Structure 1
Amino acid sequence: MPSTIGDKTYSKSIELPETEVFRNLKNAKRFAMDIGGSLTKIAYYSTVPYRKVLYNKDQKTLDSEGQEINPKYEVSQGDRLHFVKFETKYIETCLDFLQQNLVASADVMKEKKIKVTGGGAYKYADLLQEKLGLTVDKEEEMTCLIEGCNFLLKNIHDEVFIYQRHGNPEYRFPNVDPCIFPYLLVNIGSGVSIMKVEAEDRYERIGGTATGGGTFWGLGKLLTKAKGFDELLALAERGDHRKIDMLVKDIYGGDCTSLGLPGDLIASSFGKAAQAAPESIQEADIARSLLFAISNDIGQIASLYAMMHGLKKVYFGGYFLRNHPLSMHTVSFAINYWSRGQVQGLFLRHEGYLGAIGAFLKGAEECDADKYSWSENYAGSSGLQSPLPGHKLPSLPVAVNVDQLEMDRIDQGVLVYCPLLDEPASYIPDMVDLTEDCEARQYWLECFEESLDKFVSQAIKSQPHSADAPARAQKFKEKYISRLQYLKQHPCAFGNLTVRSLLDTREHCLNEVDFPDPYLQQKQMENEAALLLLSDHLAELDALPGRQKYETAATNLLAGNVFDWGAKEAAALMQIPGFGFQQALAHLQKRPWFIDHVEDWLVRLEEGPHRCAAIFVDNSGMDVILGVLPFARELLNRGTKVILCANSKPALNDVTYSELVLLLEQAALISKDLGCALEEGRLWVMDSGQASPCLDLGRITRSLADAMIANQVDLVVIEGMGRVIHTNLHAKFKCDVLKVAVIKNRWLAKRFGEQEDTFPVVFQFERKTVS
């Protein structure tokens, strides 16, 4: 039933229960809103408790009786931003829900104010005050839009897309320059506002037009029987504008070559309507002609402003485009045509949240851009264009969908581009875009699904004393399978679909149900076994003459990389009783390798030592202890300083920063050379900012980037299949770079043209790029 507050009446729907949509409300701290005519967006911040592994060098995997010791954990707090979108007509229900589940919570909203932007900040001010007991602090809409846009551009890698209605894929995600300014923001609401953004705090409205989404809906309502904006757009999808619009060929009989006008170009919107018999005109044709007329006008005006101000990046937003492919298509075509290809229309995956994000950021110290970076949480976000399955609110009419975005704060502070990348603006970490490569997409989606049971088993095994571990592991399986199934239908849902994003999604889903490090015990056991072999391993290496020693150290680096629980074929080998380092050497491809630059590498070593090497390490156990450390030791003995760069968080059996610090202390007791280098500050471990088996050099910790510059790093070593084969094989650097990996996936090896049963080897050395 409707209710009345003051002299205003609001529609009331049925009760809204807490579901997967409004997550973690019990730990929410504060929130902000952007209330539009059709949609209301809520942004709230919460702390998320999670299990954190405590690494202890004295902790053993097995007790004296061979029984597993329960891993030691502590409960830590993460920070998360939640953005939820729903229809404004259900605002009263939503406010009741928020009052009960958020505002009434202890220590929440201490200032008794709520930041609100959009037209609803004024229209619903009384309702907000009455329902929430909070004073509405109104924020200027355009300022919020720009701040929200800046936030997304800086923190979500695949936020920007180009829409290609007839393309394959339909959505394309271009590489975004790390310098996001300047750009043009074209917001298409009822009217159109055009904003030039030159810096965080420097922007201005440089133009616009009164012909916008409101014009389309207003005229559409007069000209058709459509009962809503979406219904009018659906009508336009079915129409044929050529029955209403006068084309160039209708005037000239074909192309007008003297003016460079193609025959299918619209010469006059609704130009044929005057001569057409009224009964021959269909409403769908009218709707499509109207859509084209308005879109062409917006595209032309936007392109003119962009060219006038010398801007190449033009972002479009507003409800006229939001989840409306035909609108995006017409605006994209128009701006491309009028700018003669100099300007391309760009869109944002989470454009609908710009205002809410901007309002929330006002005074939000926990979101200080100079201190923190954020990343999208794939386990809690909806996909592009349509919400994920299960994210409908059961309390509301079945047609009501609720969209959401979640972002986790990076504990390591601000993430930046690696300063040694040759051209950061053109850097793309991933080797294969699965949105374009259908064969690879089908293979990898099936591959990840088939491997799920192994991860469920490993997750349960990692917490043997947790009674609810099996139930949580099953939840992980269900969530991850639902993501994989969804991606089969919507491969562009979360940006470029890559092996890296599939791995990241799996890690997010594991963390979602409190499995932070399923391979912890396995890693501890393998580390202990490898440390026992290290002394003899180094002695064998020292017995070799110079050139042979360096070549063997390189081969051992590759043999160590065979020990990888993330690769199906390698995992099968590692389960064979007695499989060790010598057996791994035997499974390497015989030289010459698939990519074999060993001779180039040895020649470079003969020219003299590097100043400092940054080595991005891969797996625990044999890989880091018998592969990486002896290789690093040879560099140290030549006078090269070495930074070992390790993952910030666990992923598969990758060694983490915290683990490697302890392992290096233990190895230093075994190797005098390593001990001296560690004590003298010539060898140290740094946190890379990564939480994936892959490597995105566009997001490393600022401390690591600063250390690379301060120590004049002139050699980067990247190791591992995920870090080299799935990512970075073609990355160019300003310094020497060595990329080493073993291809442990048979399907992938065949794709590279290798048919042998042994594992193909990549040993790729590249001299620094001279720009």
Structure 2
Amino acid sequence: MTDSNYAKSIELPTHEVFRNLKNAKQFAIDIGGSLAKLAYYSTVPKKRAKVLETNQVHTEEDGGELYALQEEDELRDQLHFIKFETKYIETCLDFIQQHLVNIHQSMHPKVIKVTGGGGHKYRDLLSRKLGVKIDREDEMQCLITGCNFLLKNIPDEVFMYQRHSNPQYKFHCHDPENAFPYLLVNIGSGVSILKVMSETKYERIGGTSMGGGTFWGLGSLLTKAKGFDELLEMAGQGDHRTVDMLVKDIYGGAYSALGLPADLIASSFGRATRSSEDSEDVDMAKALLICISNDIGQIACLHAKLHDLHRIYFGGYFIRGHPLTMYTITHAINYWSKGEAEAMFLRHEGYLGAIGAFMKGVQERGRYSSFWVENKALSSGLQSPVPGESFLDKQPHNMTFDMLEMDKFTKQLVSCPLLLDGASYLPDTEDLSMDEEARGYWLHCFMEATDKFAERAIKSQASTPDAEQRASRFKEKYLMRIEELKANPCAYGSLTVRSLLDTREHCMEEFHFVDPYAQQKRDENEHALQLLAARLKQLDDMEWNERQLRLVVGLLAGNVFDWGAKEAAILMEDLQNFGLKEAEAKLESRPWLVDDFESWLLRLKGPKHQCAVIFADNSGIDIILGVIPFAREMLIRGTQVVLCANSRPALNDVTYNEMTLIAKKVAEICPHIQSALLEGRLIIMESGQGSPCLDLRYIDHDLSEKMKELGADLIVLEGMGRAIHTNLNAAFSCESLKAAVLKNQWLAERLGGDMFSVVFKYARNRKVVPSGSPCSR
């Protein structure tokens, strides 16, 4: 059967590798000598709950309506990346063409960006198969653009490989704004070494012909491997010592005078002539991999030393996340640089050229977006190709897919200007990949909670016929992710509570459960608004010192109303009998686990703050009876307040759209809030986040500019996600308040407390240096 005829029998793989082809609007392809990488852009419909103000007047008697809900389709842009072997390019193009039914209607102009060495060779084939014009892009420029794109948009893109450490993968805290200069070593069929000085300035300073093509070519001659992946798998099983000549084979041991250890390779394949009968295919493959990786590492290190560069990024599909390859390159860099340079790898190293070509087309079409985010429900992880049948399963090779998918943000995200040192900031309090006990607990915790979230998803769309089926698929996908993380904790980057929460949100979105708590939030907001007037009057009648304490206690008690915490959710089942007063009674007595209230009170007796930036947590009682009275007190003191809410829904967290409507309703109740809104002293802004946690490396650009414009001198982080799981040890250049209630027994005990222990952490100095437990001051 010819490739052309065979294409007609291909079915879409069950794991939906080629997703949304019918909606594809733009293509780019990077064609190397060995592998081709396809990038395409599609518009994907996703359900969302839209909030609409009603004309019904709010009254204390009937409660009124805060807002109505309406489900609507929201179009979201997604970017897809897939790789396949270049020798099957005609088959793959046939497959794409047959499933791309709207290509002529949706692609304007009808152009495909192409880069890589095969751009000229396959130009006519691409044009004929897809009926489009081919626009070739410079390969080196695409590589640089692709690398810069990944460094800017994916926090856990860069890692160092430590073979005998726990964990083996150490993710590098890179600052996108201070990324230059660096050395990029791209290992494709051959190797190019690039010195990158800026987004647009780079220079090819060297290279070698000994690359991935060499490994594959010689491997095909030396072994019976039928493909690149099989050859890599063989290398992982072999013993190179049956093929390579070691120092001890020549000297009988180490050559101490020159500092050469006995097991150091003295001659690659030096034993092959006398021991070929004892050498197996796997040994040949391993010796070949080590030989090529060692040479690439040495050449890269020499170029780095020559140009005084200490960051060396390795990219290209030769690496493929293969541990032996990364170990050999890392060892070579450490050895030749004497520890002065670091070998750093990219999780998506093979897509640099395809990303660069795609972004070139995006910019030319005027659709440039400054920020994209990795979709954690759809991308494959390190050493975890998507399971399923081979795309060309009838061909004599075993081909697996790995994918990267990204969602487009319409607004730019930047680092928070209030961080003391953005380059060293890490949001997460605990790295679960390094802590086996914590990892085991949290993976089990999230697995156990999945049924409840599936039930919530079904309930939120009870009138939709396929809700139960989609919830089942959500559950299956998320549980599969957890099983992968049990086997390989670093598969998707740093493993943290934040990443587990974000992955769950992405999985929910994938099956169109975008805001399953929308109705619940609506009900809770309406209920809390009815109680606000009495709450404010009660506070206003208090003596000043007492009022400051009750405001803080209310802020903390409001945080108990969190549907993401199992213990709190049980209490919230009956909101008519469990309110702010009952939540306050649940809090531990003072002194709290972390109790900086007296320091905070003393500070309030001093000069007013210029501008307070408050990151709020949950809807309902939390925001309306806890956060708003606290913010109101700051306003009365003469402090300008920026109230921040999530840009996108997560659990029962309040969103920007909801916060805007809540503020209007609160203004009808409270003259202080009304005048503050009218005068611009109270500003509602979106954080840029869509998570229960808070990663201050990526906040909304407008919010960042407002912080600088207003001279923000106080940041308030409220809730477990924002102040415990993330940012507990974050250092700021201004004063900071971190306020949360511990609503998880295991975590509370881990931090030295108990259920409903309080963390009220105030820092007046410019730097917080954590020591001892995470709660140390």
Q: TM-score scaled by structure 2?
A: 0.92
**Correspondence 1:476 to 2:474:** yes
Give the count of matched residue pairs. 762
- Greater CA drift, 303-312 or 237-246: 237-246
Give matches, 1:566-605, under 5 Å. 566-576=564-574, 578-605=577-604
What corresponds to 2:29 in structure 1?
33
User: Structure 1 392/598 Cα, relative in aligned 2: closer, same or farther at 3 Å?
Assistant: farther
Equivalent residues of 1:420, 1:734 under 8 A apart = yes
What corresponds to 1:14 in structure 2?
9
What corresponds to 1:720 in structure 2?
719
Q: Deviation string for 1:393-440 (max 9, x for gaps)?
A: 4865693322221111113x1100000101111111111222222222
User: Structure 1 365/192 Cα, relative in aligned 2: closer, same or farther at 3 Å?
Assistant: closer
Distance, in Å, in 1 between the alignment partners of 2:210 and 2:315 is: 15
**Which SS does the other structure have where 1:72 is aligned?**
strand
Q: Deviation string for 1:687-720 (max 9, x for gaps)?
A: 1000010001000011000000000000000000
Distance, in Å, in 2 between the alignment partners of 1:381 and 1:368 is: 27
Aligned match for 1:522, one of 517, 520, 523 = 520
Q: Which amino acid aligns with 2:29?
A: M
How far off its partner does 1:209 sit? 2.0
Distance, in Å, in 1 between the alignment partners of 2:654 and 2:296 is: 52
Q: Which amino acid aligns with 1:99?
A: Q
User: Structure 1 154/512 Cα, relative in aligned 2: closer, same or farther at 3 Å?
Assistant: same
How far off its partner does 1:277 sit? 5.5
Aligned match for 1:560, one of 558, 561, 565 = 558
What corresponds to 2:504 in structure 1?
506
Q: Which amino acid aligns with 2:94?
A: D
How far off its partner does 1:331 sit? 0.8
Aligned match for 1:54, one of 50, 55, 80 = 50
Distance, in Å, in 1 between the alignment partners of 2:278 and 2:111 is: 57
Q: Deviation string for 1:75-101 (max 9, x for gaps)?
A: 221111111222334323321222233
Q: Which amino acid aligns with 2:763?
A: E
**Which SS does the other structure have where 2:299 is aligned?**
helix
Equivalent residues of 2:688, 2:698 under 8 A apart = yes
**Which SS does the other structure have where 1:668 is aligned?**
helix
What corresponds to 1:653 in structure 2?
652
How far off its partner does 1:388 sit? 2.8
5+ unaligned residues in a row in structure 1: which ranges? 5-9
Give matches, 1:328-343, under 5 Å. 328-343=326-341
Q: Deviation string for 1:39-60 (max 9, x for gaps)?
A: 3221111112222322234389
Distance, in Å, in 2 between the alignment partners of 1:80 and 1:331 is: 34
User: Structure 1 432/366 Cα, relative in aligned 2: closer, same or farther at 3 Å?
Assistant: farther
Equivalent residues of 1:85, 1:403 under 8 A apart = yes
Distance, in Å, in 1 between the alignment partners of 2:275 and 2:736 is: 71
Distance, in Å, in 2 between the alignment partners of 1:69 and 1:696 is: 30
How far off its partner does 1:13 sit? 7.5
What corresponds to 1:769 in structure 2?
766
Distance, in Å, in 2 between the alignment partners of 1:522 and 1:561 is: 16
Q: Which amino acid aligns with 1:151?
A: F
User: Structure 1 95/241 Cα, relative in aligned 2: closer, same or farther at 3 Å?
Assistant: closer
Distance, in Å, in 2 between the alignment partners of 1:750 and 1:408 is: 38
Give matches, 1:281-680, under 5 Å. 284-365=282-363, 371-390=369-388, 392-393=390-391, 399-411=398-410, 413-576=411-574, 578-680=577-679
Aligned match for 1:143, one of 141, 144, 152 = 141
User: Structure 1 698/67 Cα, relative in aligned 2: closer, same or farther at 3 Å?
Assistant: closer
**Correspondence 1:211 to 2:207:** no
Distance, in Å, in 1 between the alignment partners of 2:599 and 2:63 is: 51
Distance, in Å, in 1 between the alignment partners of 2:125 and 2:364 is: 29
- Greater CA drift, 693-702 or 361-370: 361-370
Q: Which amino acid aligns with 1:572?
A: I
How far off its partner does 1:187 sit? 1.3
User: Structure 1 301/586 Cα, relative in aligned 2: closer, same or farther at 3 Å?
Assistant: same
Give matches, 1:67-86, under 5 Å. 71-86=69-84
How far off its partner does 1:335 sit? 0.8
Distance, in Å, in 2 between the alignment partners of 1:69 and 1:638 is: 31
What corresponds to 2:182 in structure 1?
183
- Greater CA drift, 213-222 or 493-502: 213-222
Q: Which amino acid aligns with 1:113?
A: V
How far off its partner does 1:366 sit? 8.6
User: Structure 1 230/535 Cα, relative in aligned 2: closer, same or farther at 3 Å?
Assistant: closer
Q: Which amino acid aligns with 1:504?
A: D
- Greater CA drift, 640-649 or 126-135: 126-135
**Correspondence 1:117 to 2:115:** yes
**Which SS does the other structure have where 1:305 is aligned?**
helix
Q: Deviation string for 1:115-151 (max 9, x for gaps)?
A: 1122332332232232212232222222212111111
What corresponds to 2:774 in structure 1?
none
**Correspondence 1:167 to 2:165:** yes
5+ unaligned residues in a row in structure 2: which ranges? 769-777
Q: Which amino acid aligns with 2:504?
A: R
Equivalent residues of 1:375, 1:408 under 8 A apart = yes
Q: TM-score scaled by structure 1?
A: 0.93
Distance, in Å, in 1 between the alignment partners of 2:232 and 2:264 is: 21
Distance, in Å, in 2 between the alignment partners of 1:396 and 1:199 is: 46
Q: Deviation string for 1:453-478 (max 9, x for gaps)?
A: 22222222223432332232222222
**Which SS does the other structure have where 2:143 is aligned?**
helix
Q: Deviation string for 1:358-383 (max 9, x for gaps)?
A: 11112313997974311011222222
Distance, in Å, in 2 between the alignment partners of 1:290 and 1:472 is: 47
**Correspondence 1:2 to 2:10:** no
Query: What is the RMSD computed on CA atoms of the aligned residues?
Result: 2.8
Q: Which amino acid aligns with 1:38?
A: S
- Greater CA drift, 89-98 or 671-680: 89-98
Q: Deviation string for 1:645-664 (max 9, x for gaps)?
A: 10001111100111111111
- Greater CA drift, 279-288 or 192-201: 279-288
Distance, in Å, in 1 between the alignment partners of 2:711 and 2:65 is: 48
What corresponds to 1:105 in structure 2?
103
Equivalent residues of 2:235, 2:283 under 8 A apart = yes
Distance, in Å, in 2 between the alignment partners of 1:334 and 1:707 is: 47
Give matches, 1:79-94, under 5 Å. 79-94=77-92
Q: Which amino acid aligns with 2:616?
A: V
Distance, in Å, in 2 between the alignment partners of 1:385 and 1:678 is: 52
Distance, in Å, in 2 between the alignment partners of 1:626 and 1:222 is: 73
How far off its partner does 1:74 sit? 2.7
How far off its partner does 1:225 sit? 5.3
User: Structure 1 448/736 Cα, relative in aligned 2: closer, same or farther at 3 Å?
Assistant: same
Equivalent residues of 2:312, 2:344 under 8 A apart = yes
How far off its partner does 1:226 sit? 4.9
**Which SS does the other structure have where 2:506 is aligned?**
helix
User: Structure 1 430/116 Cα, relative in aligned 2: closer, same or farther at 3 Å?
Assistant: same
Distance, in Å, in 2 between the alignment partners of 1:391 and 1:192 is: 32
Q: Which amino acid aligns with 2:721?
A: G
Equivalent residues of 2:69, 2:519 under 8 A apart = yes
Q: Which amino acid aligns with 2:384?
A: S
Give matches, 1:744-763, under 5 Å. 744-754=743-753, 756=754, 758-763=755-760
Distance, in Å, in 2 between the alignment partners of 1:97 and 1:244 is: 42
Distance, in Å, in 2 between the alignment partners of 1:109 and 1:305 is: 43
User: Structure 1 535/64 Cα, relative in aligned 2: closer, same or farther at 3 Å?
Assistant: closer
Amino-acid identity (%):
58
Q: Which amino acid aligns with 2:212?
A: G
- Greater CA drift, 359-368 or 455-464: 359-368
What corresponds to 1:7 in structure 2?
none
What corresponds to 2:264 in structure 1?
265
- Greater CA drift, 246-255 or 709-718: 246-255
